Amino acid sequence: MRVSKEIINLVPYVPGKPIEETKRELGLETVYKLASNENPLGPSPLAMEFISKALHDLHRYPDPSCYELKKEWAEFYRVHPQWVAFGNGSNELIDLLIRIYCEPGESILTSQAAFVAYSICAQAARVGVIETPLTSDYKFSVEHLLSEIKQAETKKIRLLFIANPNNPTGTYLNKQELETVLAAAHEHENLLTVVDEAYVEFVRAQDYSHALPLQERFPRLCVLRTMSKVFGLAGLRLGALVAEPKIIDYVHRVRNPFNVNSLAQAAARGALKDAVYLKRVVENNAQGLDYFYKELKRLGLQYCPSEANFVFFDTGRDAQKVYNAWLHHGVIARPVKNYGFTRHLRLSVGTKDENERSMRTLEKVLEEIPESSS
Ligand SMILES: *Cc1c(COP(=O)(O)O)cnc(C)c1O
């Protein structure tokens, strides 16, 4: 059977190593997974309460319009419900936007080391990927993005993806930088911009700007949010797109009718009401990041200040060796070789205990492995 070359060349998404697999393979009793930017505090108790009630209706198909959730979600974020569509994780919405707006032979634009889902979904749709180089401090390069945007027509660039803050680097574009890029993109009628704000609730930088208020000025701006990170519902798969109704309408035509299951809808409604939990999650994250910075400094390692729930740092060594040795100490970090980084690792913020355990063991690992220049 014939298969297109884009599919043959597709490098599959590599998820974080699962806890049970690590225990089994290495014969370890306790394993800490700080590899997938998951919420270390577990799901919100209110989300679980809502799920218990929804269990009685599992024989029914879910509400395909997510009516109640949409109403409450839109209220929470002060947007119009007609501007909202949900997906099976924001990953599905990325996939749908590419399928809707790009044809084979056309391209998406993003940065090197941007969240890998953009390029995987593009390749699967036989769509090209143009990646601008990062700045020396691992940020998206406004200068390079602007120069590509200028060529949007000739290069047939249909979608621009900006993860703000970005995964795996944790870096962000500030208000002025973001607006500069959005304004340039807005000049091109056939170019849509997607700002992916998966980590927005964790941001502490004063000069950061949410993208939602910018939609008034830039109507072709799409904003992605997820329930996977601060809301702690990664296992249920729920993401949201905020975009003008014309765009939302196309998403509804293309998506599967029951793409968001009933437990996800119920849990999300509970999680949105749980302000106490959200506050705890954000506080735990800030404390965890500050602790990581202090320890990484003490260990003499360079890191990117992070606006998300993980830290991206230079091990000063072959990262694969550090990853393996760390694994033997029961800590699962995330290799970022697939993004082109051979000395870096990404580590998610865990509970206080997980954070301390990970830094104590990292110190041992670094002693075991000599520094190297590549
Ligand atoms: C984790 C993450 C998401 C969330 O994906 P879901 O499919 O909603 O779980 C989206 N974008 C970025 C940049 C992420 O890191």
pLDDT in tens, 159-172: 999 999 999 999 99
> How far is CA 236 from each of CA 16, 317, 342, 347, rounded to the nearest angstrom?
17, 37, 32, 23
- Report the Cα–Cα distance between both ends of the chain, in Å, rounded: 42
Contact 222, 242 (CB under 8 A): yes
**Residue of 223, 227, 228, 346 best suited for mutating to test ligand 1, as the one with most atoms within 8 Å of CB:** 228
Residue 343 φ then ψ, to 5°: -110, -10
CA 27 – ligand 1 centroid, Å: 31
**Residue 340 has what DSSP assignment?**
T
- Helix H segments across 102-173? 117-124, 142-150
Alpha-carbon gap, residue 98 to 94, rounded angstroms? 6
Gap from CA of 49 to ligand 1 centroid (Å): 25
Residue 280 C-alpha from the chain's centroid: 20
- If you measure from the C-alpha of residue 42 to the centroid of ligand 1, how many angstroms do you get, rounded to a whole number? 17
Residue 304 — φ and ψ, nearest 5°?
-90, 125
Quick check: CB of 227 below 6 Å from ligand 1? no
Q: Is the CB of 259 under 6 A from ligand 1?
A: no
pLDDT-flagged residues of the chain (< 70): 373-374
Measured CA distances, 113 to 89, 164, 170, 266 (Å): 21, 13, 11, 34
Task: Give the position of tokens 């969240």.
Answer: 115
Would you state the pLDDT for residue 12?
80
Distances (CA, A) of 263 to 36, 45, 239, 251: 22, 14, 14, 22
At residue 373, the pLDDT reads: 60
Please, what's the b/e burial string for 316-353 (b: 16 or more CB within 10 A of its CB; e: otherwise)? bbbbeebbebbbebbbbbbbbeebebebbbbbbbbeee
Sign of CA dihedral 131, 135, 138, 141: negative
Environment class of residue 247 by beta-carbon count within 10 Å: exposed (0-12), middle (13-18) or buried (19+)?
A: buried
Return the H-helix or E-strand segment holding 176: helix 175-186
Structure tokens at 300: 């003499």
Pocket test for ligand 1, best of 173, 196, 338, 349 (most atoms within 8 A of CB): 196
**Does the CB atom of residue 313 touch ligand 1 within 6 A?**
no
Token duo for residue 103: 């044809």
pTM of the model: 0.96
Q: What is the pLDDT of residue 370?
A: 84
Residue 282 near ligand 1, beta carbon < 6 Å: no
- What three-state secondary structure class fits 213? helix
Residues shown for the chain:
374
Closest to 172 in 3D by CA, of 152, 196, 147, 145: 196
Q: Comparing C-alpha atoms, which of 10, 101, 50, 100 is closest to residue 238?
A: 50
| pLDDT tens, position by position, 39-74 | 999 999 999 999 999 999 999 999 999 999 999 999
Pairing of strands 84-87, 334-335: unpaired
